[in-house]
A and B are shown apart, each in its own frame.
Chain A
Amino acid sequence: MVPYVLTMVLLAIGVYAIACKRNLVKVIIGVMVAEYAVNLFLILMGYRFGGRAPIRTAAMDRAAGAADAAKAFAAGSVDPLPQALILTSIVIGLGLVALLAAMAIRLHEKYGTFDVAEMKKLQG
């Protein structure tokens, strides 16, 4: 329950920055905060207090006995899948932020400002 609420608050901060800030750079920071809220949520979902790093070794298998090796490993370690997911998600986020920054720079060249309110060639 707590991770739900806290990451939602973080997400809300990101959405607030996107919706209410006039400076393009602050909008980009808002997007990053929102992205990291979901990354944090994913990693918290997979975390287990006192869990082991999800690396299976031969020594662990010997200790647990041949039959239950996989079960014992799954019970004792942190869920590795969300970690793989957020690696992908972080890379996608990097691409997005790079594209956003590139566009903000081009917009600055055209308008000479980062202020959204002064960019209004599109209306209607």
Chain B
Amino acid sequence: MANALPFLVALPLGVAFLMPLLEKLHEPGWLIDLLATLAAVALLTLSLNTIGEAATVYWMGGWGPDSGVVGISLVCDGLTRLMLVTINLVTLVAVLFSLRYMERYTTKGFYFCLFFLMVAGMNGVAMAGDLFNLYVFIEVAAISSYSLVAFGCESEELEASFKYLVLGSLASTFVLFGVAILYNLTGTLNMAQIRGQMDALVGNPALYVAAGFFVMGLGLKAAMVPFHAWLPDAHPSAPAPISAMLSGVLIKALGVYALARIFFSVLGPTHEYAVVMMALGALSMLGGVLLAVGQWDFKRLLAYHSISQMGYVVLALGIGAAVLADGGSRAVAGLAIFGGLFHMFNHAAFKSLLFLCSGATEYATGTRQLKELGGLARRMPVTSGCCRIASLSIAGVPPFNGFWSKLIIIVAAVQAGYVWLAALATLVAFLTLVSFVKVQRYVIGGELPERHENVREVPVSMCIAMVTLAIVCVGAGVLCPYLMSADGVGFLDQASDAVVVGTRYTEVALGGMAP
């Protein structure tokens, strides 16, 4: 199946460049819709096909170890697989939602062009086997997301996008600086080969400079707390399906995935890196939720919760790294990382769903101020039902998916001896619950304001998109105990295994060749 890997980048790129052509030729709108839907279905099928297969590598142009020269490679191991499935699932749902939602903007072709460029970039980030391609794909996804945030061209949107653009390009500069230093130290860009030379470089100060640049750059992309200023402006300004993509997968693929890949598979976990990751995670977790509690704008509130929930993921990865670096039990590290990655998948499902629900209420009522909404339960049963499920998931109520992943992270923190972090995670879970009780009360419950008397449920395609994600939320929650007990076969297990056993990436990516 290695030959299918390039299509995950090539297909969205091809579709993206067809879209403006169709727009310019004044093709009927249904052709653009059909093409976008088919492409998204094909991408999801391709990424689901990678599950259950052995880890694979694709060498561009055949410049692999067999030819004696290491060229550009696409690598698909457990972690990549998890990211691909998450990205393409949310992509399909966002495309379905966009079909009707984007009709009020006039240029749907251009919208889908940028959308699929972003998807191509994210799939590329997940598969890139060398550092420079990682940087290039980060830029492809990021530049399209800058334009998508400004898609409405109103002054708030432009302002948010400019801020995002300046900070985003600074982050990319930092990442490239880190890549350059690592290249200077090792003379190669291939991640697995760099890992092979890491032992000889321990204690080299330049290595810590590079790690610092990666933390700053990828922390900015992931909106970890000292670097989070752009996110609460940028994510709510985008059209709703794009907010779902940005919060649901973009900050994960560009930020958290790249962070995990570089610190676990390239640099190798050490105690210093682990402390930095735990500090970033804990700060984001607490800071995000404290800022979210006071918000009255639906989408802004959700954006602050994204920071907080990403904090959980980075905290769990940090705990895993700390246990691995200190030579602790591999099972505990595996549990922490499993919890973190499971939470990342769950967050993609429920946060995308919440942003789609906020988009649906905005589509129907024209406002996203919590105080102006209310009593939508009877008028919009599907949206309200989905919003309930997503809120219960993010708040960590059993048996929804958010409960299990938070529980696993907290248990792993206690087992690893970080009782204070476990207590903090529990406190944040409680504050999240409080915040979402407020959302439920003001959006779904209460009295229906008079001017929303004629509100109707959103079109069918938007409902299908929301219901799909709601099923994923419930399904992942109910099936979680079974996934946990089936030892080592689930694709989440393979993902955490790929992170825990850092050298496995080297084995996979170089196909047995000595690094």
- A interface residue numbers (CB < 8 A to B): 4, 11, 14-15, 18, 24, 27, 31, 34-35, 37-38, 41-42, 45, 81-82, 85, 88-89, 92, 95-96, 99-100, 103-104, 106-107, 110-111, 119, 121-122, 124
Contacts and interface: CB of A to CB of B under 8 A. Distances in A.
A110 B161 CA distance: 14
A71 to B, nearest CB: 13
B162 A45 contact: no
A99 B114 CA distance: 13
Nearest to B162: A103
A31 B143 contact: no
A107 B160 contact: no
Contact of A34 (B150, B155, B170): B170
Interface of B: 132, 136, 139, 143, 146-147, 150, 153, 155-156, 158-162, 165-166, 169-170, 172-173, 176-177, 180, 183-184, 189, 206, 209, 232-233, 237, 295, 300
Contact of A104 (B162, B180, B209): B162
A107 B173 contact: no
Given A27-B166, A31-B173, A35-B173, 5 more contacts: A24-B162, A45-B184, A81-B183, A82-B180, A119-B159
Main SS at interface, chain B:
helix
A38 B176 contact: yes
A18 B136 contact: no
B158 A106 contact: yes
Interface centre among A24, A27, A38, by most chain B C-beta atoms within 10 angstroms, is: A38
A37 B162 CA distance: 22
Nearest to A7: B177
B136 A103 contact: no
Contacts of A107: 155, 158-159, 162
Contact of B180 (A35, A45, A95): A45
A15 B217 CA distance: 13
A11 B173 contact: yes
Contact of A110 (B155, B172, B209): B155
A31 B181 CA distance: 20
Given A92-B139, A110-B158, A103 B177 contact: no
Given A18-B170, A95-B143, A107-B159, A100 B165 contact: yes
A11 B158 contact: no
A96 B156 contact: no
B177 A121 contact: no
A84 B192 CA distance: 21
A99 B161 CA distance: 10
B166 A122 contact: no
Contacts, number: 87
Contact of B150 (A14, A18, A37, A103): A103
Contacts of A81: 183, 189
Contacts of B295: 124
A62 B136 CA distance: 38
A121 B159 contact: yes
Nearest to A30: B166
B176 A89 contact: yes
A117 B161 CA distance: 16
B23 to A, nearest CB: 19
Given A38-B173, A45-B183, A100-B166, A124 B206 contact: no
Nearest to B139: A92
B162 A31 contact: no
A82 B183 contact: yes
A52 B158 CA distance: 48
A122 B159 contact: yes
24 contacts: A4-B209, A31-B166, A34-B170, A35-B173, A38-B173, A38-B180, A41-B177, A42-B176, A85-B132, A88-B132, A88-B136, A92-B139, A92-B172, A96-B165, A96-B169, A100-B162, A104-B162, A106-B158, A107-B158, A107-B159, A110-B155, A111-B155, A122-B156, A122-B237
B146 to A, nearest CB: 6
A14 B166 CA distance: 11
B158 A103 contact: yes
A92 B165 CA distance: 13
Contacts of A37: 173, 177
A8 B295 CA distance: 39
Contact of B173 (A34, A45, A100, A104): A34
A70 to B, nearest CB: 10
Given A34-B170, A35-B169, A121 B180 contact: no
B173 A99 contact: no
Contacts of B173: 11, 14, 31, 34-35, 37-38
A97 B180 CA distance: 21
Given A4-B206, A34-B173, A99 B143 contact: yes
Nearest to B234: A122
A103 B161 contact: yes
A107 to B, nearest CB: 5
List of 3 A-B pairs having minimum Cβ-Cβ separation, nearest first:
A110-B155, A45-B184, A34-B173
B390 to A, nearest CB: 23
A24 to B, nearest CB: 7
A38 to B, nearest CB: 5
Nearest to B184: A45
A35 B217 CA distance: 13
Contacts of A11: 173, 177
